[in-house]
Structures are given as C-alpha cells and as structure tokens.
A and B are shown apart, each in its own frame.
Chain A
Amino acid sequence: MTPADSEFETLHLARIRSLVPAEALGDISDLLENGLLTVTPRGCMLTPAGFERHEELLARWRNMIDGARLATTYERFLAVNQPVKDLCSRWQVEGKDDEALFMTVEDLSEILDRAGSALRRAAGVVPRFGTYPPRLQAALDAAREGDGRFITDPRVDSIHNVWFECHEDYLLSLGRSREEEGSF
C-alpha cells in the first residue's frame, strides 16, 4: 500500500464512521499535523479540509477500481437491505425477550449468509469490503450469546451499525446517493 492509499483508507474510515477511536486508525500523526483529522474526547473526526481531501482521493480512487464488478455485488446487497432493516425495526418495536432475540438472530443469520456471498465478491474488487463479514459475524455471535444490544444499539458494533456503514461504503465507493436510489 502506498502512503496515498493508506491516507485514503484512513480518511475513508473516518468519513464512514464519523467518530473513530484513534487506535482504530493506526498512525495518524501526519493527518493530524496537516489538519485533516481532529481529535475529540469521543474519537477522531474529519475536519472540513479532511472532508475535501477525502473527496479528492475518493474520486481518484474510483477511477482505479472495477466499479462495474463492485456494482454487481451491490445489487445483491441491496436485495437484502430492506429485509435487514425490517428485522432491525421489528426487533426494536416488538422484541425485548429471549425468544424475540432468538428469532431475530435466526432470521438475520439467514439473510446475512446471503449478503456474505455478495460481500466476499466485493472484497475481490475492494479488499476493504472483506472487513464487514467478520464484523457482522461477531455482532451476530454476541447477539446469539444473549446480548441484544448487538442487533441495533448504535453504541456498540451492532449488526445495524455495521450494515449501515457497509451500505455507506458502497454508496461512497460507487458514487451514488441515498436520494437517487430511494434507499434510506
């Protein structure tokens, strides 16, 4: 990975997650020095300059990847996007007991299995997409162990959080917006 690649990946992660613990970003001393990142008590975030720099690197990066192949996997990701959101929503509205958790985990595991196929292929185009399946699996495992926060709680690395980030990564990587595809 060239320094520019690594700069892009770091800024990209900060863009997607908004607030990232510094230790998740590796060596960021240059980025802090150049005023692209700023440290807050709750984590690192992009400065307006960092935002602009990311846009610039992103546009350049998009020209280097096989966008059409990535887009094919995105179509399959989108096909299960609504069911995942519906299950998350159902969990919040109806589910608070062990049985609801059991069923939510069962239903999600089947859908995430489907999404896994798409994400593995996406990782063949953009390796970063390979980071999502293990995180989804870890959240699913934690939920299966009985910790319901790992379904939708925004404050842990929950399935909804990871899914949401993965969706955002796709949108940024493909240069699309939620508005134009009607997916919120």
Chain B
Amino acid sequence: MATVSGTTVAAREAAGRYVFAFADGGGADTAILGGKGAGLAHMTSLGLPVPPGFVVSCRAGRDYLLAGQLPGEAKSEIEAHIQQLETAIGRRLGDLTSPLLVSVRSGAPVSMPGMMDTILNVGLNAGTVQALGRETGNEDFAWSCYERFVETYARVVRGISPSEIEDCMMDLGDRASRADVLAALLALVEEQGGSAVPDEPHDQILEAAGAVFRSWDSPRAKAYRRFRGIDDELCTAATVQAMVFGNRGETSGSGVAFTRDPSSGAPEPFGDVLFNAQGEDVVAGERDAEPLSVLAARLPDADQQLRQALGLIEADTRDLCEVEFTIEDGVLWVLQTRVGLRSGRAAVRVAVALVEEGRITIDEAIDRITPAQLEAAAAPSFASEPRAEHVIARGLAASPGAATGTAVFDPGRATELAAEGTDVILVRPTTSPSDVAGFIAARAIVTGRGGRTSHAAVVARGMHRPAVCGIGEVLISEDRRSAALAGVTVREGDVLSVDGDRGLLLRAKHEFDQPANDPAVRTFSSWCAERVQVTAPSGSPLEELRVIDTLADLESSATSAILDLSDPTEVPPADLAKALVQHTGPAPFLRISQKWLGAADVRLRGRVRGIEVPSSATSGGLLRATLEQA
C-alpha cells in the first residue's frame, strides 16, 4: 500500500483503527462500517453532498459489548473526529450561537431495518436549545426537539420503559407546559436511569454510541436475527452525523425527490418540497408541499445541485431512486437514498426505459418485475389525461386503478344500491369505521380530507378499491342525496369516474385503456413471451396443452388462460408462449386443470414462479401459476 492517505478503510482497521470519517473512502466495507455507515461513505465517494460524519466501527461495538465500555483508543479517535466534523460544517458542539447537533445511528453489516436504536438531536441542553430556537426562529420546534431527545435518551440510553414514560406524561395531566414536561422527563431519567442526562455534548455522544451498541443485544434485535439466521457475533456500528435543518427560514426546506415519476414512470425528476420545514413535516402532510418544479425559480442553485445529485444516484443504482433531501440556508444536503417504491405501471415502464437507455439488460428488467407489479400494470386505467371540464376535483392518488359508477354519499345507501347491482362510487368528507360497510360495497372511494396514510386510503388499498383522498371540502346535504364536492354540486345517481392513478374525480364515464395499448407493457410482454418455457411431466407431451378458454380473473381483472391438459393436441409447444400472451395479455396467468396437476409431477420451467391454490371463488378447481423467471 502506498501513502497513509491512500490507505483503504480495511487496511486502517487492520492497523487498529476504530473510527472512520465518511470521506475516508467508499469501497464495500460493510463488515467494518455497517450498512448505514458504508452507505454514507459510498454516497460521499460518489460526490453527493452528504452531511459530514464518522463511523465508530462494528469492531468497536464488539469490544464495547465484551468489556462494557469503549476502548480508550476508540474514545480518543472519536474526539479527533468530532473536531474534524466541527471544522467541516463550521459549527461547534455546545456552542451557544450556532451549535452543532448530531444523530447517532445504528447500522449492522446485514440489514436489520428498524430493529436497533437511533438518537437524534444529540448536543441539545438547556443552553443550545435556546440557540436552536433563535436560529430556526421557532422556539416551539427547538423545545420539541429537546423533549424528543430527552425522551429517547430515557428510553434508549437509560432503558426506561415506554409505559413508565407514558405514565409519567399522563401524571402531568393535559395542562402541563412544555417546561413541566421537560422537567418531568429529566427528573425521570435522574431517578430511574441512574444519573441525570449529561449537559456536555461530548458525553452525550459517547453514551449514545454505547446505547446503539447495546441495542444489538435488545430482545427485538435478537428475535430478528433468529428469524433471519443472522450471526450474533457481527455487531452494529454507530454512525455519528451532523444534523441539518430545513427550517432555518425561507431559503431552507425539505423534500423527497424521485429520479423518475414513481406513478407514471415518466423519465423526469418528481417530488415534493416544503420550504422552511423539516423532513417529517413533508411526510406528515400537515402542510401542503409544493411540486419540485418550483425549486428552479425559488432556489436555482439548490435545484441545480439536486438535479446533479439525482443524476449521480441513478447512474450508480441503474434504477428509479427515492431521495430525501434538506436545503439549509440555500445549500442542498442529501440525507438518504433508496430504490423507490413505484406503481406497477411505472415499474414496467421504467424497466423498459432502462433497457432502451442501455443501462440494464432484458434479463435484469424481467427479474425486477414482480407478478404483482405486472398484474397492476395490466389493471384497467383511464386512457388519457381527461379534458379539464370533466375534472370535478383533484386529490391524492391514494389507491390505484380506475372505476366508474353512480355517486352515493351515504354508506348505508351504498350498501343498498350495490346489493341491487349498481356500481357505486362512495364519496365521504372523512372516514369513520361505520363507513367500512359502504367501502366494501363501493367500486371506488373518494374522501374530502386525509392523505395517503389516512384510514380511507389504508382500507381502500386493503380491498383493492381505487381511491382518491383529500379532494377538498365535501359538504353533504341533510337528506344525503346530494353534495358539494370542492364547490361542485353532485347528486346521487350522477355518473362519476375515479382515477386512482392520477388522483382525479371525474364527471361521466370514461374509456378504459386496455393495458396492451401501453407500448412499454407490450414490449415487456414480448420479452417475457420469448422466455416462456413449459415442461410437461414425463409421458405427457406438451401437445396436450390446449387453451380452451379465457377467464377474467375475479380479483385482479387480469385475464387468464385456461389450459386443459387432459385433452390432446391443439396447441403445439412452439405456439404456447404466443398463445399465452395472446390470451392473457401482459399478465400471463396459466391455469392448469387440477386433474393434470394432481396426477403427475408438473414442472413449469423458465418464467414460472410458484403455483397458488386459487380462492374458492375460482371455479373449476384450477390452479394458477404466475409466469416469470424460476
């Protein structure tokens, strides 16, 4: 190895080092830095603007758990790295003007999401909390950070149980001031947790790192390791990182960006930004976030930095990614990136686009698409963006799919009409449990208030009903036979369409798009078809396969082919793939007669995964195989 600065993390660890800055180099040092730490080091090495920090290694964790304390060398290395960190970000721990606050997070070599502990806002005390209040211009925010810090400290660092904390809070009653709550929490830690929360931020960091290491042996983490068969000897690392704040004024903000549109798959950055706010405000949806496109005009530098970061991330992962970011005083920071969740339609379109851009192979594309995504891509949707005059209201696309039916505003009435065979669209201001019967009866659900995690959205997705939430004020008349929906009058019986993909409530019936009309779905299906291979049991020639019928799948609305294998010779094996795609569209479900499956050792090779026993609703005792790679 050459110079000291060029030495790899692995070589330094071998030489006895315990602590590594993110900027010490990427490389796949997950075994040393843990997944979280290695990920941040990797992002830093890509040139992404990651808030600076350092990792106390897994080996330090193992030593801590053996000896009950951190090795002396590890402590002095931490001190040295804290100084570096202070220089890099231009803030100091405990400073009464612009204090540095850090997060201390767990991260094992093997992913154990959420199983171990994390402590935020380390560095707060009676002095720095006031500085944070001044800097953010929001005293309430600063005190609530402090309260959460002390609460986490009580639980995670000092092992006080959540129910003890809850009891302590409720003993205060509901007229307690912020100061009372904090005093009670601090007293609880002192009485039940051995000693007071240290005021000195350096001591807080050391204690927090110890707690993160101990969380490796929490019952929850142990149970998870047993479940996943993870080695108990690995241990976690502790990652210490500067915290950045998106609520330091109008040139600050937080947001979530996708490298492509996760709903439609369109190859354009997509996302939300909330100015003068922290990340959790974006997620909570209490304030309305603005589309990412406003960033170019308001903070052009940050916009430029974000676009550049999104490009780097997608080039590295070769997939659609979701990126959490914060802008602090006009400077962009990337906090987290992960492969982004996407709709079935977007999944297929993005996979096809990435092949066409030469980023992934056809086989990779096929491997990335799950049967459920393909099924969703094949679910009906409305053909095109509707004309503006048809749009009654826009809301959140809370549950995908499209449906048409008559407007109803009362859950009981929805049940009645559905029992008579009417397709019903249930529109409610909000939801309560008593609406659930109406939900079951309705083809689609619309609510005036509530976001993607509202009760209505959860229930609708659970029942595979398209839903649009948060369309605005829904005022239902006394007799429940008409309503004003975001200012537009609609009467029971009016025909409405709900577009759960675009988040639209529409007047009148709209044309459904057949999935085959989506060129990406067509391309993808043809790739799958080329790879379909079905092998019959020995002695049963493939020629016995015959497509006798097609059947609309009751649950998914995808079409399936029924293959009767007992009756010989109609479809030659070479044509099978073609026949399947022809008969089933882009989501080929192969139904094979029970008799045939029961009688012999059926092997469906190639793009076939799993055989499901269908629900009793499926007639004819058919089994279903989902075609994809084995």
Contact = CB atoms under 8 A, between A and B. Distances in A.
Contacts of B457: 89
Contacts of A110: 162, 220
Nearest to A177: B430
B325 to A, nearest CB: 20
A94 interface: yes
A117 interface: yes
B458 A85 contact: yes
Contacts of A86: 453
Given A92-B462, A152-B458, A184-B447, A106 B439 contact: no
B420 interface: no
A114 B412 CA distance: 35
A8 interface: no
A103 interface: yes
Interface string A27-51: 0000000000000101001000000
A184 B456 contact: yes
Interface stretch (B15-23, B53-61, B166-174, B305-313): B166-174
Interface string A46-72: 000000000000000000000010011
A3 interface: no
Interface in A89-140: 89, 92-94, 96, 99, 102-103, 106-107, 110, 113-114, 116-118, 121
B433 A179 contact: no
B463 A154 contact: yes
Contact of B461 (A42, A93, A116, A184): A93
A16 B434 contact: yes
B430 A121 contact: no
B459 interface: yes
Contact of A102 (B162, B170, B224): B224
A73 B170 contact: yes
A113 B165 CA distance: 11
Given A92-B462, A99-B228, A164-B433, A75 B174 contact: yes
Contacts of B169: 76
Contacts of A85: 453-455, 458
B268 interface: no
Interface residues of A, number: 49
B166 A76 contact: yes
Contacts of B432: 164, 168, 171, 178
B437 to A, nearest CB: 5
B280 to A, nearest CB: 10
B341 interface: yes
B246 interface: no
B101 interface: no
B114 A107 contact: yes
A9 interface: no
A110 B220 CA distance: 10
B339 to A, nearest CB: 12
Nearest to B447: A184
Given A75-B174, A92-B458, A184 B163 contact: no
A82 interface: yes
B278 to A, nearest CB: 15
Instruction: Give 10 closest A-B pairs by Cβ, nearest first.
Output: A184-B450, A18-B434, A117-B166, A89-B453, A184-B454, A117-B163, A72-B174, A114-B162, A178-B430, A92-B461
Interface of B: 113-115, 162-163, 166-167, 169-170, 173-174, 220, 223-224, 227-228, 284, 286, 341, 372, 411-412, 415, 429-437, 439-440, 447, 449-459, 461-463
11 contacts: A73-B170, A76-B166, A88-B458, A93-B461, A106-B224, A113-B163, A116-B163, A117-B170, A168-B434, A184-B430, A184-B447
